[in-house]
Amino acid sequence: MALKIVDSCINCDVCEPVCPNQAIYQGVEIYEIDPERCTECVGHFDEPQCRKLCPIDDCIPQDPAHVESQEQLLAKFRRLTSGELAPV
C-alpha cells in the first residue's frame, strides 16, 4: 500500500529528502506522495523513512486508495531501480 500525507502536515521538509524513490514532492499546500513511486521503502529500509522522521504523529498513513501487498511493493521497487520508471 502506498502512503499518503494528510492535512496535519506542517511542511517541515523532513520527508522529501529521505525518500529513496523520489515519491515525495511539494504539493500546492502540503507535501504529497506519488503512489506510483511509493514502496513504503520496501527494498531500501525496514520501515518507511518519511514516517520514521516525521514529527507529526499519524501524518503519513497508508493510502487505502492504493492497496498493495509486500510482493507488489517489492516488484515496484525492482521496476524503479531497474530504470523502468524514470526518476522525477
- The CATH code of domain 15-82 reads 3.30.70.20
What are the residue ranges of helices labelled H in the chain? 15-18, 49-53, 70-82
The neighbour count for residue 13, using CB atoms within 10 Å, is: 9
Query: Could you tell me which residues come within 8 angstroms of residue 82 by beta carbon, excluding any fewer than 6 positions away?
Result: none
Residue 83 is predicted with a pLDDT of: 74
Q: Which cell numbers in the block locate residue 18?
A: 529521505
Query: Could you tell me which residues come within 8 angstroms of residue 51 by beta carbon, excluding any fewer than 6 positions away?
Result: 3, 60
Q: Rounded to two decimals, what is the model's pTM?
A: 0.90
DSSP 3-state assignment of 23? coil
Give residue-wise pLDDT tens across range 12-68. 999 999 999 999 999 999 999 999 999 999 999 999 999 999 999 999 999 999 999
